[in-house]
């Protein structure tokens, strides 16, 4: 019998930790043809989803799939995400969470290029294939403390559109 992955258990544990502490759990997902999400919010074959109790309906976090209903631009969507495609889970408020390695299995979804107002964007760390999950800290660039640290060190990092000041979260691997 094949051993069950620890990933779904870690996802459920971090989800529970977020909710117990009043944080908003988010998951970063690699989108492929098996992933059922609103495609207009997908950027670079990734999407970040708020999976808090307030943002979802009928959330089920199984060993193979995470399923729920959520509203995007006022329209309800059934979301189905393979656990294998989850890149990270973290608390929006403080960035604490965990990143996971995800192998690209082909069949990548097309990027709509649209700005996702409901889906935040994060950079996923390069994690070697087969590596164990690592704890990560996601630090929003617009956080006042990190903005001061950024400007003191080497100035604010530009966003994708070249504007300075951030707004894009960054993952930091904690060993």
Confidence of residue 172 (pLDDT cuts 50, 70, 90): low
Domain span at 103: 7-124
Has residue 129 been placed in a domain? no
Closest-CA residue to 79 (of 27, 136, 38, 132) = 38
The predicted structure's pLDDT at residue 160: 43
The predicted structure's pLDDT at residue 28: 96
Mean pLDDT of the 28-32 span? 95
Has residue 36 been placed in a domain? yes
Has residue 133 been placed in a domain? no
Has residue 53 been placed in a domain? yes
Closest-CA residue to 81 (of 11, 141, 10) = 11
The predicted structure's pLDDT at residue 1: 76
Please give the Cα distance from 115 to 117 (Å, whole number). 6
Q: How far apart are the first and last CA of the chain?
A: 32
Nearest-5° angle of CA 65, CA 69, CA 75?
A: 140
Which CATH number does the domain housing residue 93 bear? 2.30.30.220
- Does pLDDT of 72 surpass 80? yes
Write down the number of H helices and E strands in the chain: 2, 10
- The per-residue pLDDT for range 73-106, each reduced to its tens digit, is 999 999 999 999 999 999 999 999 999 988 765 5
More confident: 120 or 28: 28
Has residue 151 been placed in a domain? no
99, 128 contact by CB (below 8 A):
no
- The per-residue pLDDT for range 120-169, each reduced to its tens digit, is 333 333 333 344 444 444 433 333 333 333 333 344 444 444 444 444 45
Q: What is the mean pLDDT of the chain?
A: 73
Has residue 93 been placed in a domain? yes
Domain count, the chain: 1
Has residue 48 been placed in a domain? yes
The predicted structure's pLDDT at residue 171: 58
In the chain, the percentage of residues whose pLDDT exceeds 70 is 59
Residue 172's SS3 state is: strand
- The per-residue pLDDT for range 31-49, each reduced to its tens digit, is 999 999 999 999 999 999 9
């Amino acid at each position: 019998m094949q051993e069950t992955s620890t990933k779904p258990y870690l996802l459920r544990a971090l989800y529970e930790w977020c909710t117990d502490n009043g944080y908003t759990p988010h998951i970063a997902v690699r989108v492929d043809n098996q992933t059922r999400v609103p495609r207009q919010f997908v950027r670079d074959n990734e999407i970040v989803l708020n999976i808090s109790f307030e943002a979802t309906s009928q959330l089920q976090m199984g060993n193979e799939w995470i399923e729920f209903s959520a509203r995007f631009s006022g329209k309800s969507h059934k979301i189905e995400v393979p656990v294998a495609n989850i890149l990270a889970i973290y608390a929006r408020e403080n960035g604490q969470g965990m990143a996971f390695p995800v192998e690209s299995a082909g069949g990548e979804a097309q990027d709509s290029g649209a700005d996702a107002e409901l889906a935040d964007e994060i950079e996923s760390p390069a994690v070697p294939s087969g590596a164990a999950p690592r704890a990560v800290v996601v630090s929003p660039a617009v956080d006042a403390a990190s903005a001061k640290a950024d400007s003191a060190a080497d100035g604010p990092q530009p966003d994708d559109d070249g504007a300075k000041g951030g707004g894009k979260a960054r993952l930091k691997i904690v060993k």
